[in-house]
Amino acid sequence: DTGVSQNPRHKITKRGQNVTFRCDPISEHNRLYWYRQTLGQGPEFLTYFQNEAQLEKSRLLSDRFSAERPKGSFSTLEIQRTEQGDSAMYLCASSREGVGAGEKLFFGSGTQLSVL
């Protein structure tokens, strides 16, 4: 069990640029979640996957945000035309099944995005 891995740890970009983050869940974990956390706030749910299927994406913050999990393993979160308000920590978590099935979420250390 190597834990949830997120890359990069830090990303600095200029406003208007596109950025992509990667998350590698714990192997054999079917569920993968993306959250955003700003300073002094709790993690804000964005989207999640069951294998390669994206089951909930209505909470993605705008149409500039998109996520994929093409083979049901790693996932990417892309933000197009970044804005300063996108600066935050982006967290990924995984679990074997959903939390309603009694499963524990394992969180990665996150990707800190700074938009200049």
Q: Taking CB under 8 A as the criterion, which residues in 79-98 touch another protein? A: 91, 93, 98
Asked if 113 interacts with another protein (CB under 8 A), we say no
Asked if 101 interacts with another protein (CB under 8 A), we say yes
Tell me the C-alpha to C-alpha distance, in Å, between residue 76 and each of 19, 39, 68, 103.
Answer: 10, 23, 5, 23
Please answer whether residues 65 and 5 qualify as being in contact, where contact means their C-beta atoms are separated by less than 8 angstroms: no
Per-residue binding string, another protein, 42-81, x by CB under 8 A, is: xxxx--x------xx-------------------------
